[in-house]
Chain A
Amino acid sequence: MTTTRNQVLSDIQAATVRGQRPGYVSHSFATDRTPNAELSPAALVHMFAERVSEYKAWVGYSTTDGLSAAIAARLEMYGTRYVVPADFPADILQQIPCIRDEQLSHADIAATDGVVSLSALGIAQTGTIVLDAGVGQGRRALTLLPDYHLCVVYAASIVLTVPEAFARLRASIVERRAPLTFISGPSATSDIELNRVEGVHGPRRLEVIIVDAPGR
């Protein structure tokens, strides 16, 4: 195996010398695209909500105090058996009928009516939620196997652009070596005549509760 490694490496080196090696280029352009400073915090949250719902996900609002009740009200509609990450905050859990993910099997998780999780951040321009295995987010299988995912996004965690999100996520990747999942709407496919159809292997229903949105 070492010899193949050396073979590939020496082929790369020979090719890059043949094809010339310009100096390193500056990468500041990748992140210095200035976000639209005009956008008010309320408008930012509004854009996020609008774009998430364009993917056919339901979006609702809550205060920190009302969150447990707001979640419970949604869950009532779809079933009785829910699962949350092992470290899901107890104060939010109060009114929610669920089990904690304490080493559940994949089959156990799949058999629930849904999962409730927190999130790392939201991206307004693209209507994207990012999970980084932080508090209340759980392992990746937990937010994948159930057919319904209710995700809590704090308004303060919403950024406007993709580069801003990557800047914030650097710590998750570098310091915690966390797995990341970007979620933009429920699972979908465009494989049949290139029309988007919601609902394939991931959760077919995605709901988002935005907490403490300014001006609401």
Chain B
Amino acid sequence: MKPDSVIIELSPEFSVGAKQALQNTQLRRNMGKATQTIRAKRAAVVGEVADWEELRDAGERIKADTMAHLDVYIQQLEKNIQAAGGTVHWASTAAQANDIVTRLIQATKSKHIIKVKSLTTDEIRLNEALEAAGITPIETDLAELIIQLAHEKSSHILVPAIHKNRSEIRELFQKAMHLPDLTDDPKDLAAAARTFLREKFMSVKVATSGANFAIAETGSVCVVESEGNGRMCLTLPDVLITVMGIEKILPRWEDLGVFMQLLPRSSTGERMNPYTSIWTGVHPGDGPQEFHIVLLDNGRTQVLGDSVGRQTLHCIRCSACINICPVYERTGGHAYGSVYPGPIGAILTPQLVGTEHTSSLPYASSLCGACYDVCPVKINIPEVLVHLRGRVVREQHTHVTGWLDPESIGMAGLAQVFGNRVTYEAAQAMGKLAQWPFVHEGYIENGPGPLGAWTAMRDLQAIPDQTFRQWWRERNKHDDNA
């Protein structure tokens, strides 16, 4: 079903947001440093795994199998969670999911909840829905807390506050936690967050989380984290509510072993992340005695039905593609206007909310392919980008105005000219004559008219004095003479 919530800020086009971001030198410095650090760490730990390519193949095949038989696996998961004492809820849309979670929290009478970092709850804007119902959500991941205190949006799926450096974080904590003497040493900043949140962990009785994986065969749910805030939220409260996209399922227990090798190395560049929690329903005498899981569609079945786009659902949210992307490194995440930035966001967001709202995102890439090379489940991001560009163009052509725009007219003209040898060679001859005022050492750096938009960022190679066709004919003449 079509999603009803908007995960993106439908504000400026990517190119507009990118231009704004590029003018912020502090942001560019922070982003450059952070992405370089993480790329080096990832390369080192991936390099020590001899069969990394086989592992990627395994990851891809498990996910492809999951998607092809998702209806079977999701019912198996439901049955096993219920058998273990959990309650399963279904949501077609973000609004339905938010309603379910709000009602579950209201039933506990709690006015606060503690939250494990979760992209899915960001996607459905759960925090806003809860606040509207008078419930205060407390983000417990350090970066999410920073973003929440700064009233900002995430700019990276793994490290939402990646655009902020230590002194900016210190200022924020000094104010919010009343710690005027706090230093900008990351150790002190982490300790401040520990003290600030410990009291919440000990007192709040309801937690929400997302899920990295869920095992159909056993009904187990898995959360991967670093700080221990996840363990706190999954262990201490009386009630736990997990919101999970339907694509996070893995068929069998051993499949998780494949992903626990792929994810930490691709994500934080570690052999293993500090903490991973796996629970199955309710464990008597240990942890929350009430467990709910909301299985969320919100546009995913639309993606599933597209044979090229479907691989997007294989994503395990590691962020390797984001860290390697030359576009993201320079613009940061906010330019993408979505909780899912970078290459994966450029293909996921348009498919979830429709290309009609996000027509610029499939173009937020140079198609260099670095994202595909690092993807631990081998999502062919450039292929999906090109596929979506095609969709954008076809959609524009469904409107009369689409046909009348200068690009469409230009392309139709080019198709005529390039479709016939005589017109093509005539155009080359004319181009050679017309270009001379603009050519500088073999390149056109400032094209006239609409071409100027293209050459603003690139140089166009001029039509040479002798074209290939002319050269070919000359060559044949010489051969005949010989």
Contacts of B310 in A (CB 8 A): 19
Q: Given A12-B301, A25-B61, A31-B257, A202 and B274 touching (CB < 8 A)?
A: yes
Q: Is B358 an interface residue (CB 8 A)?
A: no
Question: A11-B297, A12-B74 are contacts. A55–B274 as well, Cβ < 8 Å?
Answer: yes
Q: Enumerate chain B residues within 8 angstroms of A216, measured Cβ to Cβ.
A: none
Partner of B304, one of A16, A167, A200: A16
CA distance A184 to B275 in the complex (A): 6
Say yes or no: is A126 at the interface (Cβ < 8 Å to chain B): yes
Main secondary structure on chain B at its contact with chain A? helix
Name B278's closest neighbour in chain A (CB-CB).
A180
| A-contact bits for B270-299, CB 8 A (1 contact / 0 none) | 111111111111010111000000010100
Interface size class of A (residues with CB under 8 A): 35 or more
Known contacts A13-B71, A182-B272, A197-B187; is A4 also within 8 Å of B253 by CB?
no
A80 to chain B, nearest CB (A): 22
- Would you call A179 and B274 a contact (CB within 8 A)? no
Chain A's nearest CB lies how many Å from the CB of B92? 5
Per the bound structure, the CA–CA distance linking A142 and B318 in Å amounts to: 30
A74 within 8 A of B: no
Q: Which residues from chain B contact A7 at a C-beta distance below 8 Å? A: 1, 90, 92
Q: Which residue of B lies closest to A6 (CB)?
A: B90
Interface pair A187/B228, CB less than 8 Å apart: yes
B64 at the interface (CB under 8 A from A): yes
Is A8 touching B162 in the complex (CB atoms < 8 A)?
A: no
- B252 touching A27 by the CB < 8 A rule? yes
- In angstroms, how far is the closest chain B Cβ from the Cβ of A202? 3
Interface string of A175-199 (1 = CB under 8 A from B): 0011111111111111111111101
CB distance from A135 to the nearest CB of B (A): 14
Q: How many B residues, CB 8 Å from partner?
A: 98
- A195–B90 CA distance with the chains assembled, in angstroms: 39
How many Å lie between the Cα of A7 and that of B89 in the bound state? 12
Minimum CB distance partner of B286 in chain A: A139
Task: Looking at the assembled complex, report how far the CB atom of A200 sits from the nearest CB atom of chain B, in whole angstroms.
Answer: 4
CA distance A196 to B186 in the complex (A): 9
Would you give the shortest CB distance from B358 to chain A, in whole angstroms?
20
Stretch from A63-71, A87-95, A158-166 that touches the partner: A158-166
Given contacts A25-B61, A139-B286, is CB(A189)–CB(B70) below 8 Å? no
Complex CA gap A30/B54 in Å reads 10
Question: Quick one: CB contact mask for B238-282 with A, threshold 8 Å, 1 for yes?
Answer: 000000001000011111111011001000101111111111110
With contact pairs A140-B231, A186-B274 given, residues A16 and B166 touching in the complex (Cβ less than 8 Å): no
Give which listed residue, A4, A16, A22, A189, contacts B71 with CB less than 8 A.
A16
Give Cα A16 to B304, complex, Å. 7
Interface status of B9 (Cβ within 8 A of chain A): no
A152 within 8 A of B: no
Shortest beta-carbon distance from B105 to chain A in Å: 17
Cα A187 to Cα B197 in complex, Å, equals 15
Question: Are the C-beta atoms of A21 and B166 separated by less than 8 Å?
Answer: no
How long is the Cα–Cα vector from A103 to B403 in the complex, in angstroms? 73
Q: Which A residues lie within 8 Å of B254 (CB)? A: 27, 30-31, 163, 166-167, 170
Contact B307 A184 (CB under 8 A): no
B309 to chain A, nearest CB (A): 9
B34 within 8 A of A: yes
Residues of B within 8 A of A5 (CB): 90
Say yes or no: A182 contacts B64, CB within 8 Å: no
B111 at the interface (CB under 8 A from A): no
List the 9 closest pairs (A to B, CB-CB), nearest first.
A202-B228, A166-B257, A15-B305, A201-B228, A182-B276, A15-B304, A126-B272, A200-B227, A187-B228
Residues of A that sit less than 8 Å from B by CB: 1, 4-5, 7-9, 11-16, 18-22, 24-25, 27, 29-31, 33, 51, 55, 106-107, 110, 123, 125-128, 133, 139-141, 144, 162-163, 165-167, 169-170, 173-174, 177-197, 199-203
- B interface with A by C-beta (< 8 Å): 1, 30, 33-34, 37-38, 51, 54, 57-58, 61-62, 64-65, 67-71, 74-75, 84, 89-92, 96, 140-143, 146, 159, 161-162, 165-166, 169, 186-187, 189-191, 193-194, 197-198, 201-202, 218, 220, 226-229, 231-232, 234-236, 246, 251-258, 260-261, 264, 268, 270-281, 283, 285-287, 295, 297, 301-302, 304-307, 310
User: Could you pull out 8 A-B pairs where Cβ atoms are within 8 angstroms?
Assistant: A16-B304, A18-B305, A140-B234, A163-B258, A187-B226, A187-B227, A189-B190, A199-B191
